[in-house]
Structure 1
Amino acid sequence: MRPPGVLERVRAVAAAERAIIRSWADRQLGLAMCSFISGCGRQGYSDHSVLTPIRMWRRVDSFVDDGGQRRTGSDFERRCLDAFEQLRPIVEPLAIPPDDVQLDAWDAAEPMIVDVPVRSVLGASDGPDPSFDLICWNEASALAEGNNTPYFAACAIVAVEIYRPSDPFGLLAPLGELRMRYEDEPDSRDATGAEIAAVLDDFRARAPWPIRA
């Protein structure tokens, strides 16, 4: 059983993590991209309105031409930017005040918002749950490149457990336990964060992505 005060601790941890990433002024592009790609993954479960990844796309767009933003030059970064640009003709016309956009236009964009990042970032996903594959790979890779925190990476993956995704790499159980420990044991958060990173590094080493044609 968890110690009393769970809600208060979760709110405090989330506020502290948000303060950390706000301080990373030169990594806002990478952070926004991480949120956008995972948002596209969650759209595969209709976890939120399609307006959510559209707004996330707009935030990426606000940083993409900022020369002060840190670039890793990695294959993962290139693939994420490719997904972003492939979606530009579809999403940019919709990234305006919602009163000016017909709901049918949002609905028509949804299949591409779900599919394009899977194909671009993963190369392909022939598993039963490509949206979950995308979220896990994105969160783990963004963390490895310094554009995520261990706690937020774990939270993003565990959050979709309610949809009972296929979990062939066995991430949900250890990350769920580590997320709760991070929240409940403040004195050991550095060590717990390192354990989360180790779980996700091991996943990246075992996963087949990106698949190259």
Structure 2
Amino acid sequence: MGLLAILAQAVLAAAPGDGAPDLRRTGEGQLIVDAPDRRRATYRLRFDPGTRLAAAERLGRLLDLEPFEILAEDTNAATATVRLTPTGAAMLASPDSWQHLAATSITPRAPTRLPRCVGIVIDLQGERSEVGGAEPCPRSQVATQLVVEGLNARGARLWVAAADDPRLVRSVMGPNGEPHLTARDERQPVFAEIAVPTIAGLSTIRWYEVTPDNRLRRIGQTRWRRSR
């Protein structure tokens, strides 16, 4: 994904859930489901001056799909002032890769752990709504199969999450035996195992499938009934 596409991505705002979520897109048009916590905080970053890269390119490589905003940059001093989500700040403070691109200092101190979410299991028939323990919230990710959103009793959107579609049947193809999703078995039950920021006030789950042309098609709606 190009830098212009990264910088131009708009942030999904919490809004009444009258229609399908208006998700960000990659430069190739794929749908992005953002990390649940989209608050912003300002940080001052200092980089290794020996790695001569603009802040936008550094952050684009380090943060992948996480949104960010560059407020100021001094290329001579290898510093930048940026606005990051809690997930982006945690990723920057504890990068899994590209260590040579990472900031040598972050002010104020950024969290090193991803925000915590609640694990739930739900199904399209509304017969199962299990609640698990706390787990790290997902990072921003490309949605390719299912998108589910949680609404409160007033119809306001609480969160949006991406999930695998259990109806998709895998078959082995390709010279190296790569698994490909080739068909949708409509007889299979639809369920999702996701991590969400809250179940407080949750009333309704809306279900969408991602179409081949990267649009959301609504496939159902269920009430939230916590079974355990």
Same fold (TM over 0.5): no
Greater relative contact order (CA < 8 Å, ≥ 6 in sequence): 1
Indicate the TM-score class for this superposition, using the shorter chain for normalisation: under 0.3
Which of the pair is proportionally richer in helix?
Answer: 1
Larger Rg: 2
More strand by share: 2
**TM-score (structure 1 length as normaliser):** 0.27
Give the TM-score of the pair, scaled to structure 2. Answer: 0.26
